[in-house]
Structure 1
Amino acid sequence: IRNLPMIFEERPFPGWATTRDNYWFNDDVINCIIPIILNHYKRTDILYVESWMYALVAAHQSENFVNFCDRYEAFNKDILMITLNTQIEGGSHWMLGIIIIKSREIILLDSLNNKYRNEQFTVLRRMIFMAAASALVKLDISTWRCIYAEDTVKQQNGYDCGLFVILYAYSVIRNEKFFSLPSRIGRRWINYIGSYFDHEPIRTHHARISAKTMIAIRDIIDEKGSELNSGIYVESSPVENELLTFAEELQNESNTC
């Protein structure tokens, strides 16, 4: 998946038309390619959350997300990887949210220089709260850190944010340093992955949680949900070394087991 052939035949995949030069990726591309990379490297410890889930939670329509978290045992994962957009309707700028459950960190990877992302952190904080509630865990959200990554590589144009989201995801999945690619080469790489690697899309229709469990989840949300209205302090700091160290610790734990 890493080696880009000089010549290959492009084959259609979701969002394929928007990967042409100077185009802005739509959500189909990102929601197709990142799961391919996850599946290829067998990172079952990472749960990918598609952009439409973020949009629902941002609009305070969280039932589908709660069902999703229950079905895929989100709170038992090491990392939640969430694609998000600054505009819920219409689309504007793509970013990647990384939630590390063990260290209680919500990290935002952004290819533009704008650390004032409180709106996005508010939604991401709500998402981890919902993931915990789906596991019947009462989360103390005040103990969580919100970190705007200041050491990500940045886009050099006005249309490559979607490409950089995929590059960030690749770095996290592969436990590598952040890197960039020239726009044309990056888009060819995305086309190659979409054309030649299979992926099993996340099902959008999930079995319903039992009524009894849903009542218990709602009780937790009612009891602890007011904490989500508290102010957010966003740190701006480097995250690359921390992500690499966390990945190394996970590997050591796996080897020990």
Structure 2
Amino acid sequence: MKILYSQIKEKLHVAKEKVIEEKNKDREDLPAIPPEVYVKTVQKQSKTKPKYNKEIIKTIDHELKTAQIIPRHHNTKEKIHLSNIRRPKKFSESVINAWDDTLDRSEVLTKKFGLNITREDLLTLRESNWLNDKIINFYMELIDQRSRQNHKLPTTFSFNTFLYVSLKAGGYSRVKNYTRKTDLFEKDIIFIPIFKAAHWRLITIYIKLQKIEYLDSLGNDGTDILEDIKNYLTEEHNHKKGTPLDTTNWKFTQRTDIPLQQNNDDCGVFVCQYAKSLGSSEEIQIKHSQIPEVRKLMCQTPIGNRIRPRTRKRIRQTNFRDNLKTRNHLLSKIVRNLPSRFKNPSNRLGLLVHRQFLCRGVPRIRISIIWKPDRKLETN
């Protein structure tokens, strides 16, 4: 029986490698991953049970050693996981098409939220370019859409980039209609992207927590902007509720624990990523080295009309249908190679193989061959 099991296991491994190789043909090349990394051991302490009145402490000295990194797409475990399947080229091709400045710049590539996003707008997402107001407004609308579709997330409302400009130019009377269909004081988080002095920055209002935060990727002072937003909220509350907003217990802070940009071009990207993370109650972890890839993902976002999830989720959604085909193809291939006596569904071993495929085929395929026969099988 051990020989049979090893033969089946070997065929499984070969078949899975072939399926992964076929799926990854003509797909995107993955970035290089370092083959090793330095790790550090830590002190480990262990105790016996208290009733023995003894204590044993084991100390492991600190030392540096190398540990091999096994990339996810080269996983050696006996499974086919969706993260082993690379992203189709259509994602990168959509960016290449959007950023091709030899094509018509006025061509509308997507329409939503009353905005027409043209190639000219998407070209601002290329490196060393400032994002324009249409891209930022579109991205903020997508954050609100994500909040409406996922009730586990905080409720958000994003103003467009014209609010602060209009507020400074004409006072509250000029912007009071911006919220005629929305009650700000029922939302969890309010985002206000602001363009001032050739620089994008973000105001985040937490109504229930009674605080307003100023986020600036250059670390500039925003005291005057915080004061303007406080006055706006006071008048908005008076207009909607009939009484001025009491801001005695409110906190007005300038965030200093956020990632900062290292050039003069990425302020709009940082504003969008700040809002994206805060809108999903996540820590802001964007790094300057990630900006080129983030710009590409932001370019795909208007085309796909949704906020791109994290890489693993994106691969899972993209290749869901591919995985169904992979499961069925692999099932037929393995069962075909099994000895004839195990293909009978009444046989306990063959039945378990089928169940493992059907029950664990999505989102991953894991094959566990367990032998629990009702009666002893005689081997040849």
Residues 95 and 165 of structure 1 are in contact (CA less than 8 Å); yes or no, is this contact kept in structure 2?
A: yes
1:74 counterpart letter in structure 2: L
CA contact (8 A) 1:48 1:81 kept: yes
Question: Which sections of structure 2, spanning at least 5 residues, go unmatched?
Answer: 1-85, 99-108, 110-116, 308-380
Query: 1:142 is matched with which residue?
Result: 248
Preserved CA contact (<8 Å) 1:67 1:134: no
For residue 262 of structure 2, give the secondary structure of its aligned residue in structure 1. Answer: coil
**1:70 and 2:70 aligned:** no
Q: Check if 1:127 corresponds to 2:237.
A: no
- Give the C-alpha shift of residue 197 in structure 1: 1.0
Taking only the aligned residue pairs, the percentage that are identical comes to: 24
Structure 1 letter corresponding to 2:277: S
User: Could you say which residue in structure 1 is the equivalent of 2:194?
Assistant: 84
Question: Partner residue of 1:160?
Answer: 266
Number of residue equivalences: 192
Q: Deviations over 1:120-148 (max 9, x none)?
A: 11221122223312322321233322100
Q: Are 1:8 and 1:192, in contact at CA under 8 Å, matched by a contact in 2?
A: no
Structure 1's unaligned 5+ residue stretches are 200-257
- C-alpha offsets along residues 92-133 of structure 1, whole Å, 9 cap, x if unaligned? 11111101111221101111122x212211221122223312
Q: 1:51: Cα distance to partner?
A: 1.3
SS in 1 for 2:94: coil
Matched position secondary structure for 2:192: strand
Please say if 1:58 is aligned against 2:168.
yes
Q: Secondary structure at the match of 2:162?
A: helix
Secondary structure (helix, strand or coil) at the match of 1:189 reads helix
- TM-score, normalised to structure 1, is 0.68
Aligned 1:1-257 pairs, distance under 5 A = 7-10=92-95, 11=98, 12=109, 13=117, 15-42=121-148, 45-87=155-197, 92-114=198-220, 116-136=221-241, 137-181=243-287, 182-197=290-305
| Deviation (angstroms), 1:174 | 1.4
| Structure 2: distance between partners of 1:76 and 1:4 | 40
State how far apart, in whole Å, the 2-side matches of 1:70 and 1:167 are: 28
CA distance in 1, matches of 2:223, 2:190: 19
Q: Quick check: 2:235–2:244 contact (8 Å CA) kept in 1?
A: no
Q: 1:151 to 1:198 in 2, by over 3 A?
A: closer
Distance change (3 Å), C-alpha of 1:150 and 1:49: same
Moved over 4 A (4+): 3-6
